[in-house]
């Protein structure tokens, strides 16, 4: 599992705090990344102890992790809705509940699962907090469209970079068979406006801006965890 910036202890605190809120009978969206992984592990332990839940994974990686942890799974088209999704973020604004996701190239399915969830519980360590979003925005892009999309995002004021794979010659390929383009907009003063413009670009499957998306956030710190509900 790829680990990002913050300490593992802080990520674990955030993940476990969110897992603690899950109740018997819930349908639980299972997020992607190193922080959400701690929530999946904690839920696996709870299932071992008799907690009755069904998980909906947001990526191939989350699915594999949930299988390893013994969490029963189903797909989105088999259920009426999701009670809670627990997921990470690459950058998060606590005042607004907005964030940027997709560092693990899973943001399209993550946004789909979040859109079906009653509660979106984000889990981050404190290094992810910011007053204004300025992390590059991941776009999942149809392979044939990446040059057209690059031109379109330049006209919106962004600087696109096709994401290269770490362990293969060539680009990252998503679980859906698409490419990822990371777009640097500098500081994003109006995330809703950028989100609307990105959604309108032909060839963009989904972007990683999640505007005022969180209903709850748990922020793991060196010495504890703080949870905010919106």
Ligand X SMILES: O=C[C@H](O)[C@H](O)[C@H](O)COP(=O)(O)O
101 in a known ligand binding site? yes
Among 13, 17, 30, 35, binds ligand X (CB under 6 A): 35
CA-CA-CA-CA torsion sign (110, 113, 115, 119): negative
Cα gap 140→175, rounded to integer Å: 10
Radius of gyration over every alpha carbon of the chain, rounded to an integer in angstroms: 17
Q: Is 63 in the site for ligand X (CB under 6 A)?
A: no
206 as an active site residue: the answer is: no
Per CB under 6 A, contacts with ligand X among 143-202 are none
Question: Which residues are 57's β-sheet partners?
Answer: 30
Name which position in 57, 103, 203, 220 contacts ligand X (CB under 6 A).
Answer: 103
Spell out, one character per residue from 67 to 96, where the chain touches ligand X: x when CB under 6 A holds, - when not.
--------------------xxxx------
Min separation Cβ 57 and ligand X, Å:
12
Asked if 102 and 33 count as a contact pair (C-beta separation under 8 A), the reply is no
CB nearer to ligand X: give 2 or 154. 2
Q: How far lies 204's CA from each of 101, 107, 138, 163, 201, in Å?
A: 15, 12, 10, 14, 6
Could you say whether residue 107 binds ligand X (CB under 6 A)?
Answer: yes
- Which residues belong to the active site? 110
Known binding residues:
32-35, 87-90, 101-104, 128
Interacting residues with ligand X (CB under 6 A): 4, 31-36, 87-90, 101-107, 110
């Amino acid at each position: 599992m790829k680990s990002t910036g913050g300490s593992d202890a802080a990520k674990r605190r955030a993940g476990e705090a969110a897992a603690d809120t899950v109740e018997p009978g819930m349908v639980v969206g299972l997020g992607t990344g190193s922080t959400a992984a701690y929530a999946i592990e904690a839920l696996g332990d709870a299932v071992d102890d008799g907690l009755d839940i069904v998980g909906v994974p947001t990526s191939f990686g989350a699915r594999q992790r949930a299988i390893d942890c013994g969490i029963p799974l189903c797909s989105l088209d088999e259920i009426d809705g999701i009670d809670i999704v627990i997921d990470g973020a690459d950058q998060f604004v606590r005042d607004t509940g907005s964030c940027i996701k997709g560092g693990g190239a899973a943001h399209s399915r993550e946004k789909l699962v979040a859109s079906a969830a009653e509660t979106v519980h984000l889990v981050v360590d404190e290094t992810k907090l910011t007053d204004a979003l300025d992390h590059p925005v991941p776009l999942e892009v149809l392979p044939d469209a990446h040059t057209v999309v690059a031109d379109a995002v330049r006209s919106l004021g962004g600087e696109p970079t096709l994401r290269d794979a770490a362990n293969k010659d060539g680009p990252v390929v998503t679980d859906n068979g698409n490419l990822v383009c990371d777009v640097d907009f500098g500081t994003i003063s109006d995330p809703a406006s950028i989100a609307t413009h990105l959604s309108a670009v032909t060839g963009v499957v989904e972007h990683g801006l999640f505007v005022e998306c969180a209903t709850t956030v748990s922020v793991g710190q060196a010495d504890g965890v703080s949870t905010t509900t919106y």
